Amino acid sequence: MGYRFSDLTDACQPDWRAYIEHDFVRALGAGHLDEDAFRHYLEQDYLFLVHFARAYALAAYKSQTLAELRHAVEGLKTILDEELDLHIGYCREWGIGEDDLAALPEARATLAYTRYVLDTGSRGDLLDLHVALAPCLIGYGEIAGWLNAQPFTVRGVANPYDAWIAMYEGNAFQAAMQDERAWLDARLAEVTPERFARLATIFRDATRLEIDFWQMGLDRSL
């Protein structure tokens, strides 16, 4: 019996729960997250998306089949043509202009996570790269589901962050998350125990860097 994505989360369950249930996430769901903390997170998340696009360009380079190449190019186009525009528009609603975004310094947490992803993909193969990105793509979808199951979560106009939750619980993001899980499941099913152990280390490290990204937002740190 081969491995699945759930085996990666099982291998680092304390870190995974600390990421999914972070104080930043809890405060966001309850609607009482400090607005300056959220703005700082939004700014740094814009920078992360830019590097996320670079990671998909790297995925195209690492592709060995036409199907993999098309998958990488579609991901890159989605980020450049849709996600970044949506994020810029959302930032504008929070008083952050596009010129402001272009002049942002990168926080240490942003540098650490994005460069870890790119370095992992450069040194490894396509599966290494996808595993390093999985805490973001799959994690955000799981966070939206977790928040909706919590009694403290406030939805609607009473929560200034409701649109953020709605974005990641929406059909488009949830479909992308499920597609990524299926892609990972298919490839993890073929790896050896030794290979899985290395992938689990990548996943755990990336998850820990995601925890630091939340904390960076809370601390408003650079």
Judged against a pLDDT cut of 70, whether residue 1 lies above it is answered with no
User: Could you tell me how many helices (H) and strands (E) the chain has, helices first?
Assistant: 12, 0
Q: Catalogue all structural domains in the chain, each as residue range(s) with its CATH number.
A: 5-219 (1.20.910.10)
Residue 32 is classified by DSSP as -
Q: Is 112 helix (H, G, I), strand (E, B) or coil?
A: helix
Q: Which residue has the higher pLDDT, 46 or 78?
A: 46
pTM of the predicted model as reported, rounded to 2 decimal places: 0.92
Return the percentage of the chain with pLDDT > 90, whole number. Answer: 84
Helix (H) or strand (E) holding 104: none
Q: Which residue has the higher pLDDT, 86 or 34?
A: 34
Residue 170 is classified by DSSP as S
Judged against a pLDDT cut of 90, whether residue 21 lies above it is answered with yes
Residue 154's Cβ-count burial label (10 Å; 0-12, 13-18, 19+) is: middle
Highest mean predicted confidence (pLDDT) among 75-89, 147-161, 171-185: 147-161
Please give the average per-residue pLDDT across 117-122, as a whole number: 96
Judged against a pLDDT cut of 70, whether residue 134 lies above it is answered with yes
Convert the pLDDT of each residue in 59-90 to its tens digit.
Answer: 999 999 999 999 899 889 888 888 888 899 98
Return the percentage of the chain with pLDDT > 70, whole number. Answer: 100
One-letter amino acid at 117 equals V
- Residues whose CB falls within 8 Å of the CB of residue 112, separated by 6 or more in sequence, listed in order: 209, 212
Convert the pLDDT of each residue in 103-116 to its tens digit.
Answer: 999 999 999 999 99
Q: Is 39 helix (H, G, I), strand (E, B) or coil?
A: helix
Q: Is 212 helix (H, G, I), strand (E, B) or coil?
A: helix
What confidence score (pLDDT) does residue 106 get?
95
What confidence score (pLDDT) does residue 196 get?
97
